[in-house]
Amino acid sequence: MSCESASVGVLLHPTGNGRRLLLVSERTGHRALLDATVLDALCALPPSALTALVRAAVQEGAPA
């Protein structure tokens, strides 16, 4: 999955506790495994909260 500012691989990843969504940043190589509980919580957030999460993550990764 990609857009003008990011490219991320999205895969289903089997674990001992069921499948997880594996996200891999093609730019940085960072990885995240998300389970259904996390995905459900993200779905419940309003767009403003999701924007704040993304903004915080981008600022955290910015050089000081």
- The average pLDDT across 39-61 equals 92
* pTM, to two decimals: 0.77
- How does 22-59 read in b/e, with b if 16+ C-beta sit within 10 Å? bbeeeeeeeeeeeeeeeeeeeeeeeeeeeeeeeeeeee
pLDDT computed for residue 57 by the predictor: 85
Q: Residue 41 — pLDDT band, cuts 50, 70, 90? A: very high
- In angstroms, the CA 2 to CA 39 distance is 19
Please check the confidence at residue 9 and state whether its pLDDT lies above 80: yes
Q: Above 80 in pLDDT, residue 61?
A: no
Note the pLDDT of residue 58: 83
